[in-house]
Amino acid sequence: MDATEAQEGIEDEVKDARTRRLALLIAVLAALLALVSMQDDNTAQDAIRSNIEASDLWTFFQSKTMRQFVIERDSEMLKVERDGASPEKQAAIDDLLKAWAAKSAKYESEPESGEGRKELIARAKAAEADRDEALAANNHFGYASAALQLAIVLASASIILGIGWLAYLAGGFGVVGVVFAGLGAFAPTLLPL
């Protein structure tokens, strides 16, 4: 074996080691992409669920508001009618007005069931906040997915073309993908995207 053959053998071993490292990088990036894509889908579903919940709560709030308005309007009309009524009818109207006032107050706030207007507002706003956080996380996971896909393509191109700097660029996109995935998982509202 002469020196040229030995050098070619060493170069082949170096290329094989580099190719194995890049193949491992691609496998890791693909695994991360699978996890990020799954989380991306989950946050999209969470956003839809929270949006539906908020919409339902606001609809319930509007229903309570309409009922309260009708009772209060009818109470005003009954008060006018009470003035010219007999004492027995006045007593009956007073009883009805007290019952309607209690019902109106219950429409306004019902802490035990959480279905008063005040409680519904708080629950709807909490559902909207959950929706907004899920949408922010979804955006981060989308950017993470795109960065990881680019990293896989660049790492593959580096193997095929034998261009080393593409591997470094792929690693950089991989890091960017991991950062965005971390933001999506742990701090989705840190960067407004």
Q: What is the pTM of this model?
A: 0.80
Round to whole Å and give the CA distance between 115 and 190: 33
pLDDT at 24: 94
pLDDT at 32: 97
CB atoms within 10 A of CB 160: 9
> Tens place of pLDDT for every residue, the chain, 193 residues?
565 665 555 555 556 788 899 999 999 999 999 999 999 999 999 999 999 999 999 999 999 999 999 999 999 999 988 888 898 998 999 999 999 999 999 999 999 999 999 999 999 999 999 999 999 999 999 999 999 999 999 999 999 998 989 999 999 999 999 999 999 999 999 988 7
The overall longest dimension of the chain from CA atoms, in Å, is 126
∠ CA 155-159-162, nearest 5°, is 115
pLDDT at 12: 56
The encoded tokens of residue 143 equal: 């950017």
